[in-house]
Chains A and B, each alone.
Chain A
Amino acid sequence: MGPAALSPLSPLSAALCGVLILLIPFAYAGLAMMNSGLGRSRSAVHSLMASLTVIGVATMVYVICGSGFQGFPGRAAFALPAAGKEWNWIGAGRLFFGGLDFDSASGPALAACFGMFAAALAAVIPLGAGEERWRLSAAAVSTAVLAGWTYPLFAHWVWGGGWLASSGFVDAGGAGAIQVVGGLSALSVSWLMGPRRGKFSADGMPMAVPGHNAVFVTFGAFLALIGWFGLNSAAAILFYGASPARIGIIAVNTALSAGSALLTAALVTRTRFGKPDASLSANGWTAGLAASSAGAAFQVPAEALMVGLVAGALITLSVEWLELHFKVDDPGGSISVHAVGGLWGLIAASFLGRFPGAGGNQWVAQLVGVATLLGFMFPMIYGLNALLNRIIRFRVVLDGERQGMDLHELGANAYPELVSHLEDVSQR
């Protein structure tokens, strides 16, 4: 449960928390590299440029208005009375981080700083699903809505003293607020744009479109781990009053979850295809990280291990089901990794972990959170993106797909020494 108000931190805790928050950009870097590596070479630099763009947009929009909507426990908020209860549904903070004291060890100031990085991380996630066809300007506009409204709204409910926190929902590192919100945005974007040209054959069978750089993908997974250490630790200290001494166990649980998820994904792919698949295994690792975000701060290592083992198996199945049966084209695996992994983490927290102040009905609170993500947040995210898609077309024109996003949108290829065989591409 989130605290009624963010308590002041000791100077040492505040400094530690600040350092942990500054690790979060490693998660951006990791996801951006994975997304770029899983796409084709002709859109490689566009993918990284899009990551930088959405991080910039998310940072600006969150500072301008997002933090005000998110609010903080004990600060001004709007509440609706219903069924004899006050339903705190949105923050009433000021624009541009107004009213926050950055000169002392203030919980709200650090929470605002954390929120800025978390909003940007959520914004990077949909890029993996929109890879090779999502226009840069459209991604920036969609990100502005995500960082200015969608993410702050759910983050307020979970971390800003909102109604979900009051009902006992626990999300100690952003499995719901960051991962699932980002993952559902990814699904919306992928559905709205449709698959890449040539991804599905005439009879609907998915064609393999291998990523251009497996080194990017696996190195990105390493970087993501560092970012997640900061994410899981900082959120637990800021929003759940975890002692800074718990950083050690949080790091152990985060690494265990990632490692066990990778091993399961590698084992499943080896069993099915004869050899472990590097890309799917790296995605399994990241799914373990996403799942760990729900409860790593309050689990014992054996529980974190179980969370990861299941996450790794889930991702391999989910990737295949989405592509083969649901015809969803998600080159970066963002939907499976972040939405499915995050939802699993939230459900696992129902029965794995000892949360401060939780009664015997933690599963009820967790299911209410999951129901809110799927039943309210998802239609809202899809609806907002559908509206934006009507105003500013998301998908690049056919020529852009043929040329590659690098040449079409940026005017230069990431690897100019490679010759583009446009005539081969246009035959698809």
Chain B
Amino acid sequence: MKLAGFLLLPAGWVIVLAAIAVLPPGAARAAFLFAGLAVEALGLGLVVRAHIPVIEERR
């Protein structure tokens, strides 16, 4: 889960980069920008979730 999260984070960033590199300013660029951020949020959620059980196992 941690690895998947850490892969989703840069994947979202690449979507954001692609949006500003390829698309002209407008609704499509904004949509891709938010899609990239949503992918990052998903990745961050997975990374956070993956770190919670680690604490419980340590005990």
Please name all residues of chain A whose beta carbon is closer than 8 Å to the beta carbon of B56 when the two chains form the complex. Answer: 204, 327
Known: A194-B55, A327-B52. Contact between A375 and B36, CB under 8 A? yes
A370 and B15 CA atoms in complex are apart in Å by: 13
- Asked if B9 contacts A82 (CB within 8 A), the reply is no
Please name all residues of chain A whose beta carbon is closer than 8 Å to the beta carbon of B52 when the two chains form the complex. Answer: 326-327
Known: A374-B40, A375-B12, A376-B10. Contact between A368 and B33, CB under 8 A? yes
8 Å CB contacts to A: which residues of B15-46? 16-17, 20-22, 25, 29-30, 33, 36-37, 40, 43-44
A96 and B59 CA atoms in complex are apart in Å by: 46
Central interface residue in B16, B54, B58, by most chain A CB within 10 Å: B16
- Asked if B13 contacts A371 (CB within 8 A), the reply is yes
Closest to A87 in B: B21
A378 on the B face (CB < 8 A): yes
- Asked if B9 contacts A378 (CB within 8 A), the reply is yes
Q: What secondary structure prevails in chain B residues at the interface with A?
A: helix
Please name all residues of chain B whose beta carbon is closer than 8 Å to the beta carbon of A367 when the two chains form the complex. Answer: 16, 33, 37
Please name all residues of chain B whose beta carbon is closer than 8 Å to the beta carbon of A204 when the two chains form the complex. Answer: 55-56
- Asked if B51 contacts A326 (CB within 8 A), the reply is yes
- Asked if A372 contacts B48 (CB within 8 A), the reply is no
Chain B residues within 8 Å of chain A by Cβ, number: 29
Which of A195, A326, A364 interacts with B25 by CB under 8 Å? A364
A86 CB, nearest partner CB in chain B, Å: 11
Which of B14, B16, B25, B58 interacts with A368 by CB under 8 Å? B16
Please name all residues of chain B whose beta carbon is closer than 8 Å to the beta carbon of A379 when the two chains form the complex. Answer: 6, 9-10
- Asked if B30 contacts A364 (CB within 8 A), the reply is yes
Which of A200, A361, A374, A376 interacts with B55 by CB under 8 Å? A200
B18 CB, nearest partner CB in chain A, Å: 8
- Asked if B51 contacts A191 (CB within 8 A), the reply is yes
A375 CB, nearest partner CB in chain B, Å: 3
A167 on the B face (CB < 8 A): yes
A379 and B44 CA atoms in complex are apart in Å by: 10
Please name all residues of chain B whose beta carbon is closer than 8 Å to the beta carbon of A167 when the two chains form the complex. Answer: 20
A85 on the B face (CB < 8 A): yes
Known: A371-B36, A375-B10. Contact between A195 and B55, CB under 8 A? yes
B10 CB, nearest partner CB in chain A, Å: 6
Closest to B7 in A: A379
Known: A364-B20, A364-B25, A364-B33. Contact between A372 and B55, CB under 8 A? no
Which of A82, A85, A376, A382 interacts with B13 by CB under 8 Å? A376
A83 on the B face (CB < 8 A): yes
A418 on the B face (CB < 8 A): no
- Asked if B54 contacts A326 (CB within 8 A), the reply is no
- Asked if B37 contacts A371 (CB within 8 A), the reply is yes
Closest to A360 in B: B25
A200 and B58 CA atoms in complex are apart in Å by: 11
A202 on the B face (CB < 8 A): yes
A333 and B20 CA atoms in complex are apart in Å by: 34
Closest to A199 in B: B55
- Asked if B55 contacts A327 (CB within 8 A), the reply is yes
B33 CB, nearest partner CB in chain A, Å: 6
Please name all residues of chain A whose beta carbon is closer than 8 Å to the beta carbon of B22 when the two chains form the complex. Answer: 83
Please name all residues of chain B whose beta carbon is closer than 8 Å to the beta carbon of A376 when the two chains form the complex. Answer: 9-10, 13
Known: A375-B16, A378-B9. Contact between A83 and B21, CB under 8 A? yes
A382 and B3 CA atoms in complex are apart in Å by: 12
- Asked if B59 contacts A375 (CB within 8 A), the reply is no
Interface residues of B (CB under 8 A from A): 6, 9-14, 16-17, 20-22, 25, 29-30, 33, 36-37, 40, 43-44, 48, 51-52, 54-56, 58-59
Interface residues of A (CB under 8 A from B): 82-83, 85, 167, 191, 194-195, 200, 202, 204, 326-328, 361, 364, 367-368, 370-372, 374-376, 378-379, 382-383
Closest 7 CB pairs of A and B: A375-B13, A83-B21, A371-B16, A327-B55, A375-B40, A375-B9, A376-B13
